Amino acid sequence: MSRGSLWTARGMAALAVLFLTFDAVSHIAVIQPVVDAVRPLGVPIELMPPLGILELILLALYLVPRTAILGAVLWTGYLGGAVFTNLRVGLPLASHVLFPTYIGLLLWGSLWIQEPRPQALFPLRNKA
């Protein structure tokens, strides 16, 4: 892997991990912007700390190289739920509904660049 590819993968992962860490901590702390954001979604405020703890667990799985793929798979499920929740209440498509998809693409894109296993499952070029 070239140095450029390695740094691209690290940058992609860093963006996603920084956002998800901020999201997890803000859920655990139940800050006012979180309360304001989840109220229209119909999610009980009492669920915010457990969801934040779940996010931290998923982050730990993703950040450990041995469990990174499992972490990415579990993040895909979590982020898919966020897409559905935002879509269900009619939030804007590009900024709210698809934002979790962007995060998932960063997580998986970083792994795809660094790991041979995702490349074998989803080859982007012919090996002919």
pTM here is 0.87
Cα angle for residues 83, 50, 35 (degrees, 5° grid): 65
What's the pLDDT score for residue 17? Answer: 97
What's the pLDDT score for residue 126? Answer: 66
What's the pLDDT score for residue 128? Answer: 55
Cα angle for residues 36, 42, 43 (degrees, 5° grid): 80
Tokens 């660049």 correspond to what residue? 113
What's the pLDDT score for residue 96? Answer: 87
pLDDT digits (tens, 9 = 90+) for 82-107: 999 999 999 888 888 999 999 999 99
What rounded mean pLDDT belongs to the chain?
92
